[in-house]
Amino acid sequence: MSTHAPTLGRMMHRPLLITHLLERAATIHGRATVVSQRPDKTRVRRTYADIGARASRLAHALAALGVTAGTRVATLCWNHEAHLEAYVAVPCMGAVVHTLNLRLHPNDLAYIARHANDEVILVDRSLLPLFAQFAAQVPSLRHVIVVGDSGPVDTSGGHRDYETLLAQAPPVPYPWPDLDENAAAMICYTSGTTGNPKGVVYSHRSTVLHSLVSAMADTLGLKDDDVVLPVVPMFHAAAWGLPYTALLTGASLVFPGPHLDAASVRDLMVKEKVTVAAGVPTIWLGLLALLDEEPGKHDLSRVRTTIIGGSAAPAAMIAGFRERHGIIITHAWGMTELNPLGTVAHLKPHLRAADAAAQLEVLASQGAPVPFVEIRHKGEDDGPPLPWDGATMGELETRGPWVADSYVGDEGEDRWTADGWFKTGDVVTIDREGYVRITDRAKDVVKSGGEWISSVALENALMSHPAVLEAAVFAARDEKWGERPVAAVVFKDGRRASDDELRAHLATRFPKFWLPDRFVAMHQIPRTSTGKFLKSKLREEHGGW
């Protein structure tokens, strides 16, 4: 007689694949819509059923061009339906979609495309001039497919036309293969301002889990009756995963194409009855200024929330949207290395009865970690985790099922601790309830006389001054103190404030040694390709470095 315990029953092991998101969207949510704005501002409408059929055709066409498991298929595209088709068709056939950031310098694009070993590229017709500046530097590229976003495609030079390829492909469902859920689905490169960009690989599993958690009511809460406008580019950390979360939930999508200025975004939101929009703070600062100029003129009553991340959303902007226009901001923190969502500023039930100032304090924080994302912060690499007291500053570390374990080619290994946590490079406090507040990027913190000054806190306070549209605080070299804070300030149209007024505005909330030594008025603050303040440039040009 066997002495073994009886075998327990088991659940099926079904891999978590993007294929499920695609097939579910195409069948269960087949009527949901995908609207894409073209460069000439006309809009093209498709359904998820169409996207499913077109993704099948794209996969057939790519397979005919020799794309197999693991082949890198790059995109150099704005946000639109063909980009979405690549987001699903490429990974579901077992290949890897690589989104190229069209705001980078052509030399960087060449480096990244070579590094990723891209073999096929989908390029918007409107971006061919950019592509021409680096194409010759990428010998691995075998096929160029042009998406005719701005008119007919010229195929005389060996380029292929996306729509012709789709039209010629067999009109039958593509036999999506069974894949390992850990197979690579997408590669995104970090937008590092120092050193070479690093490749981060998202797997099917990480993308599916990320979508599930993003969809949760207290995370981003997407639903089938939402109309989602990702203003955040699809080349920036998978547009924060929103296209996949929309497919999962059946939410409709609206893509802005190249029109990302505040007035165009506002018009698209009104026309397409958008309920959720997402992007970096600059866009929403611009939109708030526009709405303030013409209160009540544009009907944004459908908007449930705008998701803001990528850089700190200033508290004054969050309050302005809420108090003057009834729009709730969802402030989120993430990184390319996190697929990208890490924390969301969501009010817990006991805070919903708190006064407006206490609520704003939480809504303007980077938020608490979403399920499965673990966090801690450290003063020194090999020191103990710091207390969650809302005051002690340290570098944020994280781990979880959608946190990168390495970069492509095992570069940058020093970003991981010996016990397997990812070092974010963000300096934060964490409070008792797990709300994270970023006080700086480690490299941007101002160190004056050995004390740390939070540039983000100063920026936030400056942006609450009625004359200030935007402010970036950076370190200037100083003989006596090592570094001193200096503020670059963009004033609102027709407004101005003197240095003394700005200093007085800050003096009510910060110690004297925190107050910027100088203010530099600018028309525009220099930015990185993903919309973050480019403080290295400010330091070089105005900080004496």
With binding defined as CB under 6 A, does residue 441 bind ligand AMP?
A: yes
Distance CA 369, CA 386 (A): 16
CB atoms within 10 A of CB 295: 9
Smaller CB distance to ligand AMP: residue 159 or 415?
Answer: 415
User: Measuring CA to CA, which residue among 251, 86, 78 is closest to residue 166?
Assistant: 86
Residue type, 401: P
With binding defined as CB under 6 A, does residue 334 bind ligand AMP?
A: yes
First to last CA, the chain: 80
With binding defined as CB under 6 A, does residue 539 bind ligand AMP?
A: no
User: Which residues, including other chains, have CB under 8 Å from residue 196's CB and lie 6 or more apart?
Assistant: 111, 115, 411
Whether the CB-CB separation of 206 and 182 falls below 8 Å is answered with: no
Smaller CB distance to ligand AMP: residue 61 or 312?
Answer: 312
Min. distance of Cβ 310 from ligand AMP in angstroms?
Answer: 5
Identify whether 447 is a catalytic site residue. yes
With binding defined as CB under 6 A, does residue 424 bind ligand AMP?
A: yes
Min. distance of Cβ 188 from ligand AMP in angstroms?
Answer: 8
Smaller CB distance to ligand AMP: residue 32 or 332?
Answer: 332
Helical H runs in 11-122?
18-27, 48-64, 81-92, 106-116
In this structure, are strands 118-124 and 160-161 parallel, antiparallel, or unpaired?
A: unpaired
258 φψ region: left (φ > 0), alpha (ψ -120 to 50), beta (else): alpha
Smaller CB distance to ligand AMP: residue 19 or 530?
Answer: 530
Identify whether 294 is a catalytic site residue. no
Whether the CB-CB separation of 32 and 25 falls below 8 Å is answered with: yes
Min. distance of Cβ 28 from ligand AMP in angstroms?
Answer: 31
Per CB under 6 A, the list member of 221, 286, 320, 340 interacting with ligand AMP is 340
Q: What is the DSSP string of 383-424?
A: SPBPP-SSS--EEEEEE-TTS-SS-GGG--GGGB-TTS-EEE
SS (H, E, C) 423-477: EEEEEEEECCCCCEEEEEECCCCEEECCEEECHHHHHHHHCCCCCEEEEEEEEEE
With binding defined as CB under 6 A, does residue 531 bind ligand AMP?
A: no
Catalytic residue among 452, 481, 492, 537: 452
Identify whether 305 is a catalytic site residue. no
Residue nearest to ligand AMP (CB): 336
With binding defined as CB under 6 A, does residue 426 bind ligand AMP?
A: yes
Smaller CB distance to ligand AMP: residue 287 or 308?
Answer: 308
With binding defined as CB under 6 A, does residue 336 bind ligand AMP?
A: yes
| Binding span for ligand AMP by CB under 6 A among 179-187, 317-325, 333-341, 384-392 | 333-341
Token pair of 533, please? Answer: 């303040």
Min. distance of Cβ 332 from ligand AMP in angstroms?
Answer: 6
Per CB under 6 A, the list member of 19, 366, 448, 460 interacting with ligand AMP is 366
Kindly state the number of chain residues that form the binding site for ligand AMP, as judged by CB under 6 A: 21
Could you give the C-alpha distances from 380 to 252, 396, 527, in angstroms and in order?
A: 45, 11, 30
Strand partners, 491: 468
Per CB under 6 A, the list member of 335, 368, 403, 471 interacting with ligand AMP is 335
Whether the CB-CB separation of 141 and 117 falls below 8 Å is answered with: no
Catalytic residue among 41, 348, 447, 501: 447
Smaller CB distance to ligand AMP: residue 83 or 441?
Answer: 441
Distance CA 432, CA 67 (A): 50
User: Which residues, including other chains, have CB under 8 Å from residue 414's CB and lie 6 or more apart?
Assistant: 423
With binding defined as CB under 6 A, does residue 365 bind ligand AMP?
A: no
Catalytic residue among 23, 85, 337, 395: 337
Work out the widest C-alpha separation in the chain, in whole angstroms: 91
With binding defined as CB under 6 A, does residue 282 bind ligand AMP?
A: no
| Binding span for ligand AMP by CB under 6 A among 146-154, 315-323, 421-429, 500-508 | 421-429
Distance CA 85, CA 93 (A): 12
With binding defined as CB under 6 A, does residue 416 bind ligand AMP?
A: no
| Binding span for ligand AMP by CB under 6 A among 1-9, 161-169, 264-272, 309-317 | 309-317
Helices (H) and strands (E) in the chain, counts: 15, 25
Smaller CB distance to ligand AMP: residue 37 or 429?
Answer: 429
Q: Scan residues 177-216 and list those touching ligand AMP (CB under 6 A).
A: 190-191
Smaller CB distance to ligand AMP: residue 37 or 190?
Answer: 190
Could you give the C-alpha distances from 210 to 11, 51, 404, in angstroms and in order?
A: 22, 22, 13
| Binding span for ligand AMP by CB under 6 A among 1-9, 325-333, 428-436, 485-493 | 325-333
With binding defined as CB under 6 A, does residue 375 bind ligand AMP?
A: no
Identify whether 323 is a catalytic site residue. no
Q: Scan residues 231-260 and list those touching ligand AMP (CB under 6 A).
A: 237
Min. distance of Cβ 318 from ligand AMP in angstroms?
Answer: 11
Active site residues: 190, 337, 447, 452
Binding residues (CB under 6 A) for ligand AMP: these are 190-191, 237, 309-312, 331-336, 340, 366, 424-426, 438, 441, 530
